[in-house]
Amino acid sequence: MKSIKVLGSGCRNCETTTKLIRIAAEQAGVEVELEKVTDLVQIMSYGVISTPGVVVDGKLVHVGGLPSPNQVRQWVSE
């Protein structure tokens, strides 16, 4: 099971990123543990200043703006 964290305050881009990840995981038939992190101290501990940030299995893979659908599919299928 993949562990994916969406780092952000809950803005529209953060919510959309979370939805994109859920949809991509469902379509790929991959089980993911999806966590939304809103605590600023935790977010900054990853070095993220611009949200949303995405962490997959402990590795920061995206910062700022909406990820492309291809990026999201790659995260859940790796």
Q: Which residues are catalytic?
A: 11, 14
The DSSP H or E segment spanning 76 is: helix 69-77
CB of 1 closer than 8 Å to CB of 75: no
Measured in degrees and rounded to the nearest 5, phi and psi for residue 52 equal -80, 150
